[in-house]
Chains A and B, each alone.
Chain A
Amino acid sequence: MAHPKKIVLLGHFGVGKTSLIRRFVESQFSEDYLVTVGVHVKKKEISIDGNNITLVIWDIEGNTSIDKARKSYLLGTSGFIYVFDISRPETFESLETEMKYLQDNFENVPVEIVGNKKDKFGEAVSEEFFKTQRFENCTFTSAKEGDNVEDAFEQLTRKMLAI
């Protein structure tokens, strides 16, 4: 198996972690919400600039903060995707604290910050709201429509391989 890399998706419940993985791995989406308990693991082989990589993607139950997640799920991770829901402010209000937690506990493990459900821009929140410095490093995705989902995984993989 060429270069297996473990990725863990983090973030509150209901932000679309499971949906993003489903879109990325199976090209599918469902409106139905089925809560994730425990851990689901999926794999996807990708190729970036001629490098073949096996991504082992861990989908864990959502938590309001990372330090509530099971430690054993997070050990040995090569990269994190931190997901928030653009339509629920509660899911990004402690973004800075969460990033600090990752920096302190997983130094040198790259993180991709994802604002999901971008198809809801204009509904209850404007796209302008996120055009500030605070969100400048975020990738905005829609698991529903497939927008930027591959990009988010690919950007993280590039950071993991430092290419």
Chain B
Amino acid sequence: MICFNIMDQNLIFQNILHHITVDFNGIVLSSNDTLFKVNLGSNINDFHPIFISSIPQLLSQEEKIMAYPGLNITQNSTQVFCDITIKKEVNFISIIFFNFTSAYISKQQATQSRNEKEIKRQLGNKKS
């Protein structure tokens, strides 16, 4: 197991972790703006459409926490991949983005060549 002291943890997560809080209507209450510029008072639905369905879902279910890996976010025409966690607190919602772009891009490259090969094989099989 790898152990970090609090100092190290802060350094490690400083660049990859973005924390936003919103009210139950999706209005942004706070944002540490690590990864994106998100205006206070704006609606989180305008930042990313995933929240249009996820926030009502979170508010209507028992489970207080939801996690989605690999969310694709395009900001100023750059593409980032984040794992996100959405948590219902007593009177607000906490959203955390973990920036894992480079890991997802490596995965994308590996999957790309594997899938292309497999599709080619399938199309070849059928004709023979």
Chain A contact residues, CB within 8 Å of chain B: 1, 4-6, 13-14, 33-35, 37-43, 54, 56, 61-62, 70, 72-73, 75-76, 87-90, 124-125
Contacts and interface: CB of A to CB of B under 8 A. Distances in A.
Given A38-B70, A70-B69, A56 B119 contact: no
Nearest to B119: A14
A140 B22 CA distance: 42
Contacts of B50: 39, 41, 56
A87 B69 CA distance: 31
Interface in B40-56: 45, 48-50, 52-54, 56
Contacts of A54: 52
Interface of B is mostly: helix
A40 B72 contact: yes
Interface residues on B, range: 20 to 34
Given A4-B52, A37-B70, A88-B126, 12 more contacts: A1-B52, A13-B111, A14-B115, A38-B69, A39-B70, A39-B72, A41-B48, A41-B49, A43-B49, A76-B61, A89-B122, A125-B126
A58 B35 CA distance: 23
Contacts of A56: 49-50, 52-53
Contact of B119 (A40, A43, A88, A89): A88
B67 to A, nearest CB: 6
Contacts of B104: 37-38
Contact of B115 (A5, A13, A73): A13
Contact of A35 (B45, B53, B71, B112): B112
A37 B53 CA distance: 20
Interface of B: 45, 48-50, 52-54, 56-57, 61, 66-72, 81, 104, 107-108, 111-112, 115-116, 118-119, 122-123, 126-127
B126 A37 contact: no
A37 B67 contact: no
Nearest to B49: A43
Contacts of B119: 13-14, 33, 88
A14 B53 CA distance: 26
A4 B115 contact: no
